[in-house]
Amino acid sequence: MFKKPLPFFYKIIFVLVIILSFEIILIYKSYSKYENIKTKDLGVQNLNKKRPMVIVVDITTNTLSVFQEGNLIKTYRCAGGKPSTPSPIGTWKIISKDTWGEGFGGRWMGFNVPWGKYGIHGTIYPNSIGWNSSKGCIRMKNDDVAELYEYVPIGTNVIIWGGPFGAFGEYLRSIKPGMTGSDVYALQQILKEKGYFKGYINGVYGEDLKYAIHKYQKDNKMPISDEINMNFYNRLGIYLID
């Protein structure tokens, strides 16, 4: 997955990738390979509402799957965020539920993402389902989100999987001031671990992150730039397979 990683990279990014990958493998990707995990599709009618559930959203295939105790309950088609407005990769919780208006299909299930308001909702654009078309939220067909809303409680874990590289999804994007996302969140963690970032880890590229980037560039004799580009990633030791 990675080539020539530096020690601190193992400590931060690699660990994050392994944790997230393990969650996905255990719950979604390879659950049928483990004898101690049942593979029967229970269906919503056999759901035990008193037992915890996990929602796994794969934005590379635009599917949302609900699991309970290793059993697949149901899979829905959904829509993830556009490349310019990506969905928040990572593990979150549903912290709010509401019956929002028509534009949201009458249902809203909000996540505890620190850099913005993200959640699962319906849409007045059903043709947008099945491809990455949203502003970062997880869109569903209105009938599907109404069904999900009825049986998924506040506190349910939601794992959003965006590709093999953990918080970076499927590629390393150029990041500029004002941008937000899981990759910004991860970079703040890396720079904090290295003693450069002193702010609050929130996934927002603000002045505090800009200061940390400039200091890192200066200490490593790099050109001073606000943009996080491939050269900066590589100097941090972040390499993805070509």
Please report which helix (H) or strand (E) contains residue 182, including its range: helix 182-193
106 and 213 co-located in one domain: no
Tell me: do 45 and 125 sit in the same domain: yes
CATH of the domain at 224: 1.10.101.10
Q: Is residue 147 part of a domain?
A: yes
Whether 183 and 133 share a structural domain: no
What would the DSSP string read from start to end of 184-242?
HHHHHHHHHHTT---S--SSB--HHHHHHHHHHHHHTT----S-B-HHHHHHHT-----
67 in a structural domain: yes
pLDDT tens, per residue, the chain with 242 residues: 344 444 544 444 444 444 454 454 444 443 333 333 334 567 888 888 889 999 999 999 999 999 999 999 999 999 999 988 999 999 999 999 999 988 899 999 999 999 999 999 999 999 999 999 999 999 999 999 999 999 999 999 999 999 989 999 999 999 999 999 999 999 999 999 999 999 999 999 999 999 999 999 999 999 999 999 999 999 998 887 65
Same domain, 47 and 119: yes
Catalytic residue among 53, 79, 137, 175: 137
Same domain (yes/no): 136, 228: no
156 plus 86 within the same structural domain: yes
Burial of residue 155 (CB within 10 Å: 0-12, 13-18, 19+) is exposed
Of residues 121, 139, 141, 173, which has the active-site annotation?
121
214 is catalytic: no
Q: Do 148 and 217 reside in the same domain of the chain?
A: no
User: Among 76, 77, 55, which Cα is nearest to 127's?
Assistant: 77
Number of domains in the chain: 2
Q: Both ends of the chain: CA-CA distance in Å?
A: 9
Q: Residue 16 domain-assigned?
A: no
Domain carrying residue 107: 39-161
Whether 144 and 188 share a structural domain: no
Provide, rounded to the nearest whole percent, the portion of the chain with pLDDT above 70.
82
32 domain-assigned: no
Beta carbons of 63 and 75 less than 8 angstroms apart: yes
Is 78 among the residues known to form the active site? no
Question: Are residue 46 and residue 144 in the same domain, yes or no?
Answer: yes
Q: Are residues 118 and 232 in the same domain?
A: no
Decide: 60 and 163 in contact? Cβ < 8 Å: yes
Q: What is the CATH number of the domain that holds 49?
A: 2.40.440.10
pTM: 0.80
Closest CA to 119 of 150, 145, 151: 145
Orientation of helix 207-219 relative to helix 182-193, angle to 10°: 50
Whether residues 49 and 134 share a domain: the answer is yes
End-of-domain residue from the set 161, 185, 218: 161
